[in-house]
Amino acid sequence: MTHTDMDPGTLANVQFRQVGKPLTRTDAPGKVTGRTPYAGDYVMPNMLHMRVLRADIASARLVRLDVSKARALTGVACVLTADDLADRTAATDIPGQTGQKRLDTDQPILVRDRVRYFGEPLALIAAETRDIADHAAELIEFELEPIPGVYDTLEALKPGAPLVYGRDNIVAERKIRKGDVEAGFARADLIVENTYRTPFQEHAFLEPEVGLAWVDENDVVNIRVSTQVIEHFRPIADALGVPHNKVRVRGALVGGGFGGKEDLTVEVYLALLAKQTGRPVRLEYSREDSFVGHGKRHPFILTYRTGVTKEGKITALDVNMIADAGAYVFLSPYVILYALVAAPGPYRVDNLNVFAKAVATNNMYTSAFRGFGALQACAAYEQQMDEIANTLSIDRLKLRRRNFLKTGEPMSTGFVPPSAIWTEQCAEKAWAGLGEPTASDGPIRTGRGLACYQQSYGRLTFLHDTSEAWVGVEMDGTVVVRSGVTDIGAGQISALGQIAVEVLGVTLDNVVIYNSDSAVTPLAGTTTATRALYMTGNAAKQAAEGLRARLAERAAQEFGVTPDEIDMAFNEVFVIDRPEKTMPLVDLVRTCAAEGIHRSELAIFRAPFGDFLDPETGQGQAHPDYAYGAHAVEVSVDVETGEVEVLKSVAAHDVGQCINPAAVEGQIQGGAQNGQGYALSEEMLYEEGRLVTPSFSEYLMPTAMDMPNVECIILESRSGVGPFGAKGIGEPAMTAVAPAIANAVADAIGVRVFEMPITPERVVTALQQRDAS
């Protein structure tokens, strides 16, 4: 069930024809009939098959690597090791994104002498068939001499700990110093301190990493790949040592991303072997390759020390965060920045100290994952709110109400978000949405939890983010949109179509969207950071509006009116309130063509450009804007087995303006699955850095039997900085789910499990410890 709440004040005079409707997606027919080609479905004549050979120890020195037998095998076209490569790295780096300690810590393309994590690539093989490539991998002889590694962030910070690289294991540090924390604690009636732990998480997109590369007639390396970021053509070119215009990346409809296809995956390996062999090469990861071959969500240890008055007003907050960056630096400096900014959550905290640290270990490297650090912060601050409420015996919603950040107030960095802050409305609706409580029954105890969040949408402002889109109208009145944006399944391109046709007054079946080709479509940036709708949606809207203005001007001339009296809808152009003055869009377009009036428009949208936060105080503008909302759940816990079941799940989000309600609900329901798995069942177990859960039979994400229906309550403040006042929903949908579940479990059993996932074992242990004390 879904209902939409709007603020009547902001809705005056706004009537959409296409936006805000649950239109069916433009990509769905191909997907339901099996006709959609995914990146893995492309083949070429004379194509070679690739395989990556990986290290099977997490911390070691590469003593010997002998590929001579593999090279001699019939059907093997090429085997590459680090000795065959120039000393280059393949960093996920784009202008402005340069991080701390970058030069020391970029992962080499292949291991030269030192293995730092389990699964680090040793050699690349290309052969006539996959079987031959697999056989060649078995013929490669290598010797790894173990080096003491470090697999725990707290151990890694101790003096004398094994070094992953450099002089210490600290990858990045960030802080916020705001107000007077000591004075705030002195004013507090109560100080609550707790430490929360969050785990690794695997993205578990259903489509493993895959791509196909070839060198074309212009000596350009072409890569067709499943990716969130086609603009990796730059680091790929740098890794090859060729100019940027000699690499072209084309996406395909992506079989799931969630941040896991944000960094480079198979691209550099493909490009190297396509160049080396002069033949098309294809590389598809196995599921196990995927588990060990891309970065995970950062595990965090978060210590929250909160001062509150007895009425429940927060007077001071001191937060310490330690994130496991794993063995190489990808996006860790930015993940902890997001966590830092998000540390107090959607609450007004004037006396605030936050210290966030990313620490190198010999675990799998960690990088982007839906929520990007802000989600880990939410896992802690929302559990902490319940702990405070319980200690003070104040109603949990009431405590939150006393502290919510309000519209127009400064957040953690001193920045005042430009949009409405509707956390309170969302929290009330989500909490009320749970309805009548389900009674406990013997060992089955029920409980409820609420969690509220603040999550950015749009990239960090110091990255100076831009996005381009092109919109044109054909001679028959059909519309073409061109944008480099990748569609990772959330309906990104469908939304662009919906925006363009809203402005141009045509129907969605009259639009075709060309996307994700770095050489041909205007560069639109990444599909990450909940930015695709915000950035590319605004760019498409601007382009469509530019085109519309030109068409309206010519139509006004035709009808003898002013352009602002012209409207366009349902493929017709007409004078407002004068139904007799109308003409088919196609006739207007033909007139424009005959007179040489430009029938397309290229637009660029620029996010607000900012500087880096003040390094001492953490004050400044980190992001363009923020989304707010809440998630509420009811769970049952079997106190004998420790098993948790989610009975009810209600989400309330202010999305600013729905472009497509069905797509918004899809994000919310999918986010609930990701968050529920994170809270309860998804566990990446490592032994000395070696992943022992590299398959879906060990790594357990929620199935259809585990997931409840999610009631989606969509609020529209129309205040966002996206098109038509939209905010983002991709990441926000997941952020508050896990702490809501954790709070419900604690409510059910009267004791908190401070570490996720809240497995049956941890529940039973927590109950036993409580009974023992």
Partner 1 sequence: MERETISVTVNGRAYERAVEPRRLLSDFLREDLRLTGTHVGCEHGVCGSCTVMMDGVTARSCLTFAVMADGAEIETIEGLGSVEAMHPVQQAFWEKHGLQCGFCTPGMLMTAVELLKANPDPSVDDIRDAISGNLCRCTGYQTIVESIQYAAKLMREDGP
Closest-CA residue to 37 (of 210, 247, 154): 210
Q: How many other CB atoms sit within 10 Å of the CB of residue 139?
A: 17
Question: Which residue from 199, 208, 505, 618 is in contact with partner 1, where contact means CB under 8 A?
Answer: 208
In this chain, which stretch among 252-260, 419-427, 524-532, 548-556 interacts with partner 1, using CB under 8 A?
252-260
CA 701 to chain CA centroid, nearest Å: 18
Of 673, 681, 719, 759, the one binding partner 1 by CB under 8 A: 673
Q: Is 510 in the site for partner 1 (CB under 8 A)?
A: no
Q: Which stretch binds partner 1 (CB under 8 A): 17-25, 427-435, 552-560, 615-623?
A: 17-25
SS (H, E, C) 183-239: HHHHHCCEEEEEEEEECCCCCCCCCCCEEEEEECCCCCEEEEECCCCHHHHHHHHHH
Distance in Å, CB of 662 to partner 1, minimum: 4
Q: Should residue 669 be labelled a site residue for partner 1 when binding is judged by CB under 8 A?
A: yes
Q: Is 36 in the site for partner 1 (CB under 8 A)?
A: yes
Q: What would the two tokens of residue 395 be?
A: 């109603």
Contact with partner 1 (CB under 8 A) among 18, 542, 674, 735: 674
Could you tell me which of 235, 226, 224 has the C-alpha nearest to residue 203? 226
Do 454 and 400 contact (CB within 8 A), yes or no? Answer: no
Residue 1 makes contact with partner 1 by CB under 8 A: no
Applying CB under 8 A, among 27, 318, 424, 654 the residue interacting with partner 1 is 27
First-residue to last-residue Cα distance in the chain: 44
Least distance to partner 1, CB of residue 25, Å: 7
H or E segment to which residue 502 belongs: helix 492-504
Number of C-beta neighbours around residue 131 at 10 A: 11
> Which residue among 99, 326, 472, 666 contacts partner 1 (CB under 8 A)?
666
User: What kind and span of H or E run contains 600?
Assistant: strand 600-606
Q: Please list, residue by residue across 144-153, b when 16 or more beta carbons sit within 10 angstroms of its beta carbon and e when fewer do.
A: beebebbbbb
Give the up-direction half-sphere exposure of residue 159: CA atoms within 13 A in the CB hemisphere. 0
- Cβ 291 to partner 1, closest distance in Å? 10
Interface stretch with partner 1, choices 38-46, 318-326, 411-419, 460-468 (CB under 8 A) = 38-46
**How many residues interact with partner 1 (rule CB under 8 A)?**
56
Give me the least distance between CB of 664 and partner 1, in Å please.
11
Q: Does 757 bind partner 1 (CB under 8 A)?
A: no
Please identify, using beta-carbon distances, which residue of 333 and 371 lies nearer to partner 1: 371
DSSP three-state, residue 628: strand
Span interacting with partner 1, options 5-13, 89-97, 230-238, 661-669, rule CB under 8 A: 661-669
Q: Does residue 375 contact residue 444 with C-beta atoms inside 8 Å?
A: no
Q: How far is the CB of 138 from partner 1 (least distance, A)?
A: 16
Phi, psi of 728, deg, nearest 5:
-105, 160
> Which residue in 447, 671, 720, 728 binds partner 1 (CB under 8 A)?
671
Cα-to-chain-centroid distance, residue 352: 27
Nearest 5°: the CA angle 33, 35, 38 is 120
What are the residues whose beta carbons fall under 8 Å from the beta carbon of 192, sequence distance 6 or more?
304, 305, 306, 308, 384, 387, 388, 391
Decide whether 116 or 653 has the Cβ nearer to partner 1.
653
The stretch near partner 1 (CB under 8 A) out of 154-162, 251-259, 463-471, 579-587 is: 251-259
Q: Considering only residues 442-501, where is the footprint of partner 1 by CB under 8 A?
A: 488-491
Would you say 27 or 231 has its CB closer to partner 1? Answer: 27
Instruction: Give CA–CA dist 154/301, Å, rounded.
Output: 9
Interface with partner 1 (CB under 8 A), residue from 577, 697, 772, 773: 697
- Work out which of 157, 556, 662, 764 binds partner 1, going by CB under 8 A: 662
**Residue 207 is a binding residue for partner 1 (CB under 8 A):** yes
Residue whose structure tokens are 């983010």:
465
Nearer to partner 1, 254 or 343 (CB): 254
277 vs 286, beta carbon nearer partner 1: 286
The nearest distance, CB 514 to partner 1, in angstroms, is 19
In the list 28, 63, 520, 576, the residue contacting partner 1 (rule: CB under 8 A) is: 28
431 close to 382: Cβ distance less than 8 angstroms: no
Contact 23, 498 (CB under 8 A): yes
Q: Does residue 579 touch partner 1 according to CB under 8 A?
A: no
Among residues 3, 11, 14, 24, the one that binds partner 1 under rule CB under 8 A: 24
Tell whether residue 204 is a contact of partner 1 (CB under 8 A): yes
Please identify, among the stretches 180-188, 197-205, 313-321, 622-630, the one whose residues bind partner 1 according to the rule CB under 8 A: 197-205
Residue 701 interacting with partner 1 (CB under 8 A): yes
User: By CB under 8 A, which span of 33-41, 420-428, 604-612, 619-627 interacts with partner 1?
Assistant: 33-41
In total, the chain counts a number of residues equal to: 773
34 lies in the site for partner 1, by CB under 8 A = yes
Identify the bridge partners of residue 391 per DSSP, sorted by sequence position: none
Count Cβ atoms below 10 Å from residue 162 Cβ, excluding itself.
15
Give me the helices (H) in 221-294, please: 233-240, 267-277, 287-293
Q: Least separation, in Å, of the C-beta of 660 and partner 1?
A: 9
| Secondary structure of 302-338 as H, E, C letters | EEEEEEECCCCCEEEEEEEEEEEEECCCCCHHHHHHH
Options 108, 235, 251, 255; binder of partner 1; rule CB under 8 A: 255
According to CB under 8 A, which one of 256, 346, 629, 728 is a site residue for partner 1? 256
Nearest to 304 by CA among 318, 283, 285: 318
Residue 46 within binding range of partner 1, rule CB under 8 A? no
Under the binding rule (CB under 8 A), the answer on residue 695 touching partner 1 is yes
Q: Would you tell me which residues interact with partner 1 (CB under 8 A)? A: 22, 24-25, 27-38, 40-41, 43, 203-208, 253-258, 286-287, 488-491, 662-663, 665-666, 669-674, 695-697, 701, 703-705, 707, 709-710
